[in-house]
Structure formats: structure tokens, C-alpha cells
Amino acid sequence: MLSRTLLAVALGAVAGGFLLAGLIQALRLPSRRRVARVPHRQSRNVLFVCTDNLCRGPAAEALFRQIANGTYRTRSVGISRTCLHRISERDVCWADAMMVMEWHHRALILERWPEAAAKLRVLEIEDRYYRNDPVMLRLLEVKLEGFLTELESGEWLTPPVRGTRGPSRIRRAV
């Protein structure tokens, strides 16, 4: 009797699994058409830096990959001591360009690696958004499209002049 019950439950789970898989397939949203990968004159590595590498950094990395059609290698890291993948000298050396979310991230990186100044750009995305927040994603999209245009045109601007680094809310995280 017990084996029949287990068999019935197992068959029901399998049938339910197929139904669930079919439902998930039917509800999938159409994906954006991917444009063919455009060869770039030189490979670039782009590093995205936020505080804990939970929301903004990974979202920026994924969005940039999509906008750039996979023509750049990307990573995301955090600057806090508690994040899983904390920025390291290896990350700084690997990156050709570093996009930080806030001015204090830039200041903390320059404190440890002053030679990274020419690689750094500040997106000015505050740490007040939740994961996949539509407002944050839209802000990132607009800023990353501008960044990509700058990269593609070769107009990689000089770093900001000392003293114009924005709000001086530097937290000691590194």
C-alpha cells in the first residue's frame, strides 16, 4: 500500500513538473534580439565597483554586457570588508576601465591605487535602490550607453581634477 502511495505521489510530481515547465516556457518574455558581435580593435576589461557587490555592481555588469553585445569582458566587485568578492590589486590591474557607483568609491580606490586614476569613472548611482529596481536600471542604462559611446569613440577623458570629486562622504571600507 505504501509503495502505491509513493508511486502515485512520484507520478504526480513528475506530471506537475512537466506542467510547471510548460507554464514557465509559455510565460517567458521575448528576449531582445542580439546583434552580431562586432570585432573591437582591442579587447577591453571593464570593472564595476559598488559597496557590497549585491545590487548596483552586478546589475551594471549585466546591463553593460547586454548593451555592448558582449564585446567587453566584465566583472563586478565590492569595496566593503564583508562583501564576497572584494576589490583587489589583481582586479585593478585587470581592468582597462573602472566604473564606480559613488564618489567615495573612487576616493577609496585612489587611496590604495593612485595609479588607477585614469581608469576610473563615477556613475553617481546612490546606494538607495533595491535589486532590479526599475528606476536604478533605467539610470544605469542611460549612463552606461554614454560610457559605451565614450569607449567606442576613443574619447576616454582625463580623470577629474583633484578637488572636483563630488561629495566627500568617504567611508572607511577598504
pLDDT digits (tens, 9 = 90+) for 77-94: 999 999 989 999 999 999
In a domain, 109, yes or no: yes
* 56-67 helix and 134-153 helix, angle to the nearest 10 degrees: 50
pTM comes to 0.65
In a domain, 83, yes or no: yes
Per the structure, the complete domain to which residue 106 belongs is given by: 45-153
In a domain, 144, yes or no: yes
**Least trusted range by pLDDT, from 138-142, 152-156, 164-168:** 164-168
In a domain, 12, yes or no: no
In a domain, 161, yes or no: no
Q: How confident is the model at residue 150 (pLDDT cuts 50, 70, 90)?
A: confident
What CA–CA distance (Å, rounded) separates 50 from 77? Answer: 7
In a domain, 29, yes or no: no
pLDDT in tens, 127-141: 888 788 899 999 999
| Higher per-residue pLDDT: 147 or 161 | 147
Residue 77 belongs to domain with CATH number = 3.40.50.2300
* Residue 34 main-chain phi, psi, to 5 deg: -85, 130
Q: What is the pLDDT of residue 25?
A: 43
In a domain, 86, yes or no: yes
In a domain, 114, yes or no: yes
**Average model confidence (pLDDT) for the chain?**
74
pLDDT exceeds cutoff 80 at 50 = yes
What total number of domains does the chain contain? 1
DSSP label of 33: P
By the 10 Å C-beta count (0-12 exposed, 13-18 middle, 19+ buried), 140 is classed as: buried
